[in-house]
């Protein structure tokens, strides 16, 4: 029995094309985020519409997502989600975060040794601001251990009044 290599060429071409298709689909489904970066993702279809005036979408809404992908390998719900881009992780070096209310805005400051830098602000009635305050109150009751680039840190939150409004100070200490 004589084996003709030419008869295998169509099968090899089809197998090669299928392999390329599988690799392309896998590259869209799996995303590796490096140790010193985060990935910003966008939900493209199937979800609630973002309310007017909001910049980022929360869970279940179409648009740029508030939740970012941390370092590691992630499965993406392609084609419903996509990675907009990967950006370097910025280290501020703060050991405290402070949230203060002023002019109907909640301002977030990163503090190190008494010096501060404003890093975010939200309208005080926005879902982001309400969720931030709720999480800070929950952490304040029991504390929380989190993982950072530097290792495990213990977060404690104190509440105080700032011009008659509640304010929060979150302290980060190595666990």
Q: What is the pTM of this model?
A: 0.55
**What does the block give as tokens for 22?**
């599988």
Q: Is the pLDDT of residue 13 over 90?
A: yes
> What is the per-residue pLDDT across 33-91, written as a single tens digit (0 to 9) for each?
998 898 999 988 888 888 887 778 877 889 888 888 888 999 988 888 888 889 988 77
Positive or negative, the CA dihedral 11, 16, 20, 23 is positive
Q: Is the pLDDT of residue 161 over 70?
A: yes
- Residue scoring higher pLDDT (13 or 141): 13
Q: Which long-range contacts (CB under 8 A, 24 or more apart) does 43-47 make?
A: 43/80, 43/81, 44/79, 44/80, 44/81, 44/82, 45/79, 45/80, 46/80
ω into 108 cis (within 30 of 0):
no
> What is the per-residue pLDDT across 114-134, written as a single tens digit (0 to 9) for each?
788 888 888 888 888 888 888
CA 56 to chain centre: 11
**What does the block give as tokens for 114?**
């008494």
- Look up residue 51 and give its DSSP letter: P
> What is the per-residue pLDDT across 134-159, written as a single tens digit (0 to 9) for each?
888 888 878 888 777 677 888 889 88
Predicted confidence at residue 19, as pLDDT, reads: 96
Distances (CA, A) of 100 to 14, 108, 118, 170, 171: 62, 7, 11, 12, 15
């Amino acid at each position: 029995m004589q084996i003709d290599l030419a008869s295998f060429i169509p099968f090899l071409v089809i197998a090669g094309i299928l392999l390329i298709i599988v690799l392309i689909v896998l590259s869209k489904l799996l995303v590796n985020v490096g140790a010193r970066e985060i990935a910003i993702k966008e939900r493209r279809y199937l979800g609630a519409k973002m309310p007017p005036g909001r910049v980022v979408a929360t869970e279940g809404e179409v648009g740029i997502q508030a939740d970012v992908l941390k370092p590691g390998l992630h499965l993406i719900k392609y084609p419903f989600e996509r990675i907009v881009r990967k950006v370097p992780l910025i280290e501020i070096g703060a050991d405290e975060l402070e949230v203060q209310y002023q002019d109907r805005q909640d301002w977030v400051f990163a503090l190190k040794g008494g010096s501060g830098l404003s890093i975010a602000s939200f309208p005080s009635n926005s879902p982001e601001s309400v969720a931030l305050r709720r999480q800070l109150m929950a952490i304040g009751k029991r504390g929380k251990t989190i993982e950072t680039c530097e290792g495990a840190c213990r977060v404690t939150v104190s509440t105080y009044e700032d011009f008659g409004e509640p304010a929060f100070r979150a302290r980060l200490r190595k666990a």
